[in-house]
Amino acid sequence: MHDYQYDHQTVKGFIVSSIFWGVVGIVVGLWISIQMWKPELNIPPYFTFGRMRVVHTNGLAIGLGIGAIFGISYYIVMRLARRPLLFPKLARFHLYLFNAAVALAALSLFAGMNQTLEYAELEWPLDIGVVILWVMFAVNVFGTIIKRKEEQMYISLWYIIATVIAVAILYIVNNLAVPAGMTKSYPVFAGVNSANVQWWYGHNAVGFIFTTPILAMFYYFLPKSTGLPIYSHRLSIVAFWSLVFAYLWTGAHHLVYTPLPDWIQTLAIVFTLFLIAPSWGSVVNGYYTVGSDWSKMQTNYLTKFFIMGITFYGLQTVQGPTQAIRVVSQLIHYTDWVPGHVHMGTMGWVTMTTAASIYHIIPKIYNTEIYSIKVANTHFWLVLIGQLMFSITMWITGIQQGALWKATNADGSLKYTFMEGLAKNYPFWQLRTVAGVIFTVGMLFFIYNIYMTIRKGRALAASQA
């Protein structure tokens, strides 16, 4: 009667697809990191930095991030609703359409079709495709939750619901545009309004793609894989509601010292700083959970992924708000500090938590164990070293850059030319490529481990059939 197996194949399909797009996105990322210090690697028109950077960001945010979020959310919703998906065939079609959309998105970006809104680059026909994908996801998530067999709604479900609703609103509003042919459009907002809407979207894409669904995973898979229940249910709930209340006000911190009215900037800074509290609610909850038995760090290989992941989340959610404060923003904004910050979230918090969730799910689906804990440990350390090296090099060069830009002579003229500042970045950009290579090797260990586990699971299933 319960056909979990069919839904699990859909979940696995999303996971495997997300890993595939992840490889594409990471390879492109490595390439553009080399372009920064070796401009010859820009091969016009398709393989130039301007086009490849958006393939990198979209490929990883949509392909790896959202692909994994779709699959893992389905898995969590089924578990917490105690039933298979309400529309299993729709979920399978969702998977096919997702891959088609990501492929078309990548091709269109390589071709130079671009709305020129950051993280909302895709042109309007693809925007419609993304909305359709999202509606399919929403119908299945809400349908399954409404028809659930477990009355109580665990915190992960709240985070998934927030993700579905917030992304829908953000994506539609920021992509409102007047089409001018199939591959060109003009946004309905202009000037300062456009900037304000864009960063309301841009920041909350981080909030509702790189934060809330990942917290849903954290709250579900940490207790599931360690056997330790979450420390405080009330803290989870208070942190959830204060997070979703505060997040949507914060986007204008990307526009500090711009023509955006002063009071809007100030309001955004206030809400941004407040966000430290709900974010650290989850951090504290995570630490106290594992704190009830720290030996799990040694006895369960996944615990360290979750603890390191939530530590990166904790660092990010102090670093981000600090950057919003005017005095800090004027030093580091527009410098390489910013990619250093972003990548601590994506390479640290998001990738570690997602990978750990996948390590939990794939063996469960096949009713087997992970292929190799040793390989998983190697993956962990390489990713950790690669990520720290990436962010630390970018922080250093970012502060240096900001200081060079701000240095003035007595008569007010700039002390350093743009080229002098640029040349000082080169050693750090080269180190960043090394960091990226270390991270990539770590991810290859992860992929190998997952591939071997699937192979093992398939062999097991065949022998039982």
Euclidean distance between CA atoms 260 and 422, whole angstroms: 29
Residue 4 or 110 having the CB closest to another protein: 4
Angle at 124 between CA 118 and CA 129, to 5 degrees: 100
CB neighbours (10 Å) of residue 298? 9
CB of 25 to another protein, least distance (A): 30
Sole residue written with tokens 């743009």: 418
Residue 138 or 277 having the CB closest to another protein: 277
Sole residue written with tokens 């709930």: 237
Contact 94, 71 (CB under 8 A): no
Give, in order, the Cα–Cα distances in Å from 294 to each of 235, 256, 310, 359. 20, 42, 15, 20
Q: Which stretch binds another protein (CB under 8 A): 15-23, 98-106, 147-155, 419-427?
A: 147-155
Euclidean distance between CA atoms 178 and 123, whole angstroms: 11
Q: Which stretch binds another protein (CB under 8 A): 38-46, 203-211, 231-239, 294-302?
A: 231-239
Site string for another protein, 386-425 (x = CB under 8 A): --------------------------x-------------
Q: Which stretch binds another protein (CB under 8 A): 47-55, 265-273, 303-311, 382-390?
A: 265-273
DSSP annotation of 18 reads: H
The three-state secondary structure class of 370 is: coil
The three-state secondary structure class of 454 is: helix
Tell me the number of residues near another protein by CB under 8 A.
47
Which residues in 204-223 contact another protein (CB under 8 A)?
219-220, 223
Pull the structure tokens for residue 70: 């779709």
Q: 152-183 b/e with 16+ CB inside 10 Å = b?
A: eebbbbbbbbbbbebbbebbeebbebeeeeee
Q: Which stretch binds another protein (CB under 8 A): 38-46, 86-94, 259-267, 413-421?
A: 259-267
If one asks whether residue 32 binds another protein (CB under 8 A), the answer comes out as no
If one asks whether residue 79 binds another protein (CB under 8 A), the answer comes out as yes
If one asks whether residue 154 binds another protein (CB under 8 A), the answer comes out as yes
Of the candidate residues 62, 166, 177, 269, the single one contacting another protein (CB under 8 A): 269
CB of 342 to another protein, least distance (A): 23
If one asks whether residue 61 binds another protein (CB under 8 A), the answer comes out as no
> Within 13 Å, how many C-alpha atoms sit on residue 133's CB side?
24
| Binding stretches for another protein (CB under 8 A) | 2, 4-5, 79-80, 82, 150, 152, 154, 219-220, 223-224, 227, 229-236, 238, 242, 257, 262-263, 265-267, 269-271, 273-274, 276-277, 280-281, 284, 288-289, 292, 326, 364, 367, 412
